[in-house]
Every structure is written in C-alpha cells, then in structure tokens.
Structure 1
Amino acid sequence: MTVGILALQGDFREHEEMLRRIGAPTLQVRLPKHLQHVERLIIPGGESTTIGKLLAMYGLIDPLRARIRDGMPVWGTCAGAILLAQRIADGRADQPSLRLMDVTARRNAFGSQLESFEVDLPVLGLGDEPLRMVFIRAPVLEDLGRDVTPLAHLDDGRVVAARQGTMLATCFHPELTPDERMHRYFLAM
C-alpha cells in the first residue's frame, strides 16, 4: 500500500519520514499522474491558500476530488484539514479548495504564530494514552455534519480532529512528534 503525500508546499517531508519509520511506502504527489500510483493520500500542513493555488495550478483539484469521492482514504493535517473542508471561515472567498468534508474549518482559530501551543489530549480510537498535539496557526473544525465523527476536542469543546468515512482531518501536526499512533490510525482506515 503506497501512501501519497501531497508535496507542493508544507511539511510533507515530516510525514514521509514518519511513514518510512513505520514501514509504509510513500510517493510524493505533485502531478495528477502520481495519483494513479497511490492507495491513500496525506495533505500536509503548510499554508492553505498557497497549497490551494498550487493544486489548481498543477491540475490536481478535480483528480483529487474524484479519487476521494471514489473512496481513497485521505488525511488532511492543519492546512490539509482546511483544504478538505466544505466550508472555510476566515478564509479568502477565492481560495481553491477540495470542499469535500462536511465541516467548517476556521482558519487561524488561535491567532498568530505566537499563539502556537502543544497539548496532550485523548483521541477516539487511539487508546487511553493522550496524544501530544502541536498547534501552529491551527484551524478548528466547526459545524460538523451528521456523518462526521469528532475524534478529539480541546477542553473548551472545540473539535480538533474528525473523520467522515475515508476522510480524516486533524488541526494539529502529529508528524512533528515521535508518536506514530495517528499515522497508524490513518493506515488502518
């Protein structure tokens, strides 16, 4: 099972390193033709507007939508979660996006880079031990559709991880910690 990692911008190398460490073959996806060689895809964190523009520039939006609608598992982390969301709050009206997951992603929900933080929280499906979560100019997920399962939330109730079928969205960066559980969860989807 080859895991594609969208490699247009952002922290794709960190995901690649984590997957290699746990023995999963990877392929950097930059063009539509690369999608035919992967069984699942990670859309990494980075800058969602930039990644969206690059998706459009390289002709990836429609092929990605088609593969995801056909059931290819996809995981968006931080900016990737924003790109998966059907609705984007505090974003640009013209921002290219996949708009597939029935959630609203509120961009920069915690403020600027200076408000970045780490916290340990439980994640549904990962066992009892909390997961270290790294939030960097992170979104939160709001207005979850009825088919969306929240997997993790902050103490104030804001959702920071959710799943809808074969789509997974995390507002944090599990690839920036040594904990492999979130990546293993995705591989098992």
Structure 2
Amino acid sequence: MIIGVLALQGDFREHLAALAECDVIARPVRRPEEVAEIDGLIVPGGESTTMSKLAQEFGVYEPIRNRLRAGMPAYGTCAGMIMLADEILDGRPDQVGFGGLALQVRRNAFGRQVDSFESQVEIAGVEGGPVTAVFIRAPWVEKTTGEVEVLGQVGEGPDARIVAVRQGNLLATSFHPELTGDLRLHRLFVEMVRAAS
C-alpha cells in the first residue's frame, strides 16, 4: 500500500514523516504518473490558491480529480480541506479544487496568521480523548449537503464551527494533525485506504 502526499507546496514533509511512523510507504506526488501509483492521497496544508495553480501547471489536477471520482481515498488538512470541497467561499475567481466533499468551505475563516490557535477537539470515531488541533489561517465548513458526516466542531451552540468531516473515502480537517505528533487521524486515514484497497 502506497500513500501519496501532494508535494507542490505547503507542509507535505510533515505528512510524509507522520505516515512513515504509521508504517506505510509514503511518497511525494508532483507528477501525473505518480498519481497512478498511489492507493490514497493526502492534500496538505499550505496556500490553497497557490496549490490550485501549481496542480494545474504540474499536470496533476485532472489525474487527481479523476482518481478521486473513481473512489481513491484522500485526506485534506487545512488548505487540503479547501481543495477537496465542492464549493469554496472567499476564493479567487480562478481558483479550482479537486472537489468530492459535498460542502461549502470558507477560506481563512478563523482569521489571519496572527489569529492562529490550538484547541482540543473531540473527533467522532477517534478513541483516546480529544485531539490537539492546530489552526493556522484555517478554513471552516460553512454548510454540508449530501452524505457528509460531521466528525468534529469547535465552539458550542450557534457559534459552533465544523472542522472535521468525512464523506465515504474522503476525510478532511481544517487543522494540522501533522504538527502535533498525534498520529490518530493519520492512522484513521491509513485504515480507510486499507479498507478501500
């Protein structure tokens, strides 16, 4: 089983290290032919408009989109959540995502870099208590449709914001588990890939 990490921009190295700790083969993905060689893909945090542009320039946009439509598992973190969303709010007019998650996501919803924060978030299906979630210029899910399962939120009542979701073989968090040393979400994704294989 080989799990790729989109390695055009952002914190892909941290995801490769986390996957190595999960005892799976992890490979950076930068070229179209590499998309065909993987069983699952992590789309890391970074800058979603830059990632969108580079995915097209490097020729991986259509291959990834096609593999996702064919059922390849993917996990998007922060900018990766934006890239997997069917609808991006506050994006640039020329920004495109891979799609697949039936939701609206709002870019930079929690504020600028100076507004970055950590929070404890309970994630449905992840045992062992809440995960430490690192939010850096993070998005949130504005609205879900279809079969999206909400796995985690921050805040309570009408101020609660959706920050973790799953829909079939797609998983997304608006935070960065690769920065905390907590491998539970990476292990959840590895199990999703294993089940899909």
Fold equivalence (TM over 0.5): yes
C-alpha distance in structure 1 between counterparts of 2:134 and 2:43, whole Å: 16
8 Å CA contact 2:122, 2:129 repeated in 1: yes
More deviation, 175-184/55-64:
55-64
8 Å CA contact 1:122, 1:128 repeated in 2: no
The residue number in structure 2 matching 1:75 is 75
C-alpha distance in structure 2 between counterparts of 1:182 and 1:154, whole Å: 17
Aligned residue runs from structure 1 range 133-152, under 5 A: 133-152=133-152
C-alpha distance in structure 1 between counterparts of 2:50 and 2:38, whole Å: 23
Question: 1:123-181 CA deviation, whole Å, 9 max, x = no partner?
Answer: 00002500000000000012101300000001232100101111111100000001110
Q: What TM-score does the superposition give when structure 2 sets the normalisation length?
A: 0.94
SS at match of 1:179: coil
1:100: Cα distance to partner? 2.2
Counting matched residue pairs gives 189
SS at match of 1:51: helix
Letter matched to residue 165 of structure 1: G
C-alpha distance in structure 1 between counterparts of 2:36 and 2:62, whole Å: 14
C-alpha distance in structure 1 between counterparts of 2:183 and 2:22, whole Å: 8
CA RMSD of aligned residues (A): 0.9
The residue number in structure 1 matching 2:195 is none
8 Å CA contact 1:140, 1:159 repeated in 2: yes
Identity %: 49
The residue number in structure 2 matching 1:180 is 183
**In the alignment, does 2:105 pair up with 1:102?**
no
Letter matched to residue 147 of structure 2: D
Letter matched to residue 78 of structure 2: C
The residue number in structure 1 matching 2:93 is 93
Question: 1:108-136 CA deviation, whole Å, 9 max, x = no partner?
Answer: 11111000000111100002500000000
C-alpha distance in structure 1 between counterparts of 2:150 and 2:113, whole Å: 25
The residue number in structure 2 matching 1:161 is 164
1:99: Cα distance to partner? 2.4
**Once superposed, which parts of structure 1, at least 4 consecutive aligned residues long, lie more than 3 Å away?**
none
Letter matched to residue 16 of structure 1: L
Q: What TM-score does the superposition give when structure 1 sets the normalisation length?
A: 0.97
8 Å CA contact 2:107, 2:139 repeated in 1: yes
Question: 1:29-80 CA deviation, whole Å, 9 max, x = no partner?
Answer: 0011001211000000000000000001011111111111111100110001
The residue number in structure 2 matching 1:63 is 63
Which sections of structure 2, spanning at least 5 residues, go unmatched? Answer: 193-197
Letter matched to residue 112 of structure 1: R
The residue number in structure 1 matching 2:132 is 132
